[in-house]
Amino acid sequence: MSEALLTLNPHFVVGPLNRRIFGSFVEHMGRCVYTGIYEPDHPSADEHGFRGDVAELVVELGATIVRYPGGNFVSNYRWEDGVGPREDRPTRLDLAWRSIETNQVGTDDFLGWCERLGIEPMMAMNLGTRGLAEAIELVQYTNADPGTDVADRRGANGRTEPWDVRVWCLGNEMDGPWQMGAKTAEEYARLAEEVGRALKRFDPTLELVACGSSNRAMPTFGAWERIVLDRAFDHVDHISAHAYYEPHGGDVDSFLASGEDMDRFISSVVATADHIAAVKQSDKRVMVSFDEWNVWFAERFPGEPSLEFEEGRELIRDVYSVLDAVVVGSLLITLMRHTDRVSMACQAQLVNVIAPILTVPGGPAWRQTIFHPFALTAAHARGVVLSVGGDIPSVATAAYGAVDQVWSTATWDSASGALTVFAVNRSRTEGCQLDLDLSAFGDLEIREHLTLHDDDHAATNTRDDPERVVPRPGRSSLEDGHLRSTLPAVSWHCIRLDAERVAHVPPA
């Protein structure tokens, strides 16, 4: 067993924790919407047709912001089709996923669902097959005060008060040749500039997300961000990043180190954004919206052209293992380590499609393995993110070279005295003894150590055995200001410590 010697100090702060990092994503794709979040005939359905059992799991998951309605879907979407009386809504062909879209869920339905669950919406607009005029009308429909035609149309559909959506994605993956209306960097930069200018004229407080590269392997990566931001810099607040991870060719060692790719991706985009700011002699800091990320076994997906047009098909319903959950936990750690520049992030997707939640039409809903690190991190990460450093053994990977065996971060809430350590052992074969120096925090006690680990790294949760993989107690001790924890190979950990309860113990 190796040993990692790390140190935390409450004064070494990366930045306040951005709660929007714990975002998710709902796209009209597969069964994410229909028989996912929405199923009017389900026994748990509410008066609006949304599944109550799924809503309970979404609240437990801790999703803070949800992106909608896509994704590739949005680039061929007419938002007008999804508002008004359901019986009057048209059925359309969705060219992105070659499906039949009934439009029984649309803008008002989704925003109402978010409002009832206390979730912030993040809306994407179609800049593939549509453009400036449609974007302006959509934002007015959701956000304008009553008294004008578009806003009054919303009122006629049952919502008088504005929805007040703050965050808007200016299209989706516009660099991708798979996208309806894909564009060159120059074409998209001009469009993002003109749409951004118009929307800021309507409401300068809107937060606008420009499309960045669809992934770090795109041939235009870096140049795309530079060209787009050079043109749209004054009108956008965030630039997107998307990444999906899987064990390519069975390379589990590199898969476990996927956080390394995400880390480099974020750093590269930040460097490009700050270069543009420097050229423009601006103090503005464009933030990274990592609004699509997850484990996705894309090598198993035959591709959109192979699909027949079908309503409500099963699509990319990946089932996740312990190994996958550990990787998801490490990606969340990576996002938190960049809390000073990652403004929000959305795990894709929420239900049934590469998702932490699975459902059966008319039947149960259950938590996948990847649900647990997300839910526990969202529940217990509070305050500020701390910088962590020390002497860490390395693991060899084919994709990224030598990487740290232990990948970790911590949050500190000085008001409550809550210190939470998140750590992953990224070795496939070797356990690690973690020695974490916490002496700078004074008196602490261990409140809880939860771990996601199983000797069977391929173990999954199923309909018949939904609790096969759950967080279990880990092994930690605290002595002389040092936290000593055992981290088995392929394991994720949430270690909660408390200063407040020690400080307020009454005298005997």
Within a 10 A sphere around the Cβ of 456, how many other Cβ atoms? 11
User: What is the distance, to the nearest Å, from the Cα of residue 103 to the centroid of all Cα atoms in its chain?
Assistant: 25
Closest listed residue to residue 74, CA positions, set 243, 223, 189, 209: 209
- The active-site residue out of 39, 193, 246, 292 is 292
One-letter identity of residue 264? R
Beta-bridged to residue 478, according to DSSP, are 483
* Residue 353: burial class (beta carbons within 10 Å; 0-12, 13-18, 19+): buried
What gap in Å lies between CA 70 and CA 130, rounded to an integer?
A: 15
- Active-site position among 27, 101, 134, 173: 173
Burial class (CB in 10 A: 0-12, 13-18, 19+), 504: exposed
Distance of CA 34 to the CA centre of its chain: 21
Residue 204, token pair as written in the block: 């300068």
Instruction: Judge whether 173 counts as a catalytic residue.
Output: yes
Return the number of other C-beta atoms located less than 10 Å from residue 129's C-beta.
14
Amino acid, single-letter form, for residue 299: E
Tell me whether residue 292 is one of the annotated catalytic residues.
Answer: yes
Cα end-to-end distance, the chain, whole Å: 42
Which helix (DSSP H) or strand (DSSP E) does residue 94 occupy? strand 92-94
Quick count: other Cβ atoms within 10 Å of Cβ 19? 16
Residue 258 DSSP SS3: helix
Active site residues: 173, 292
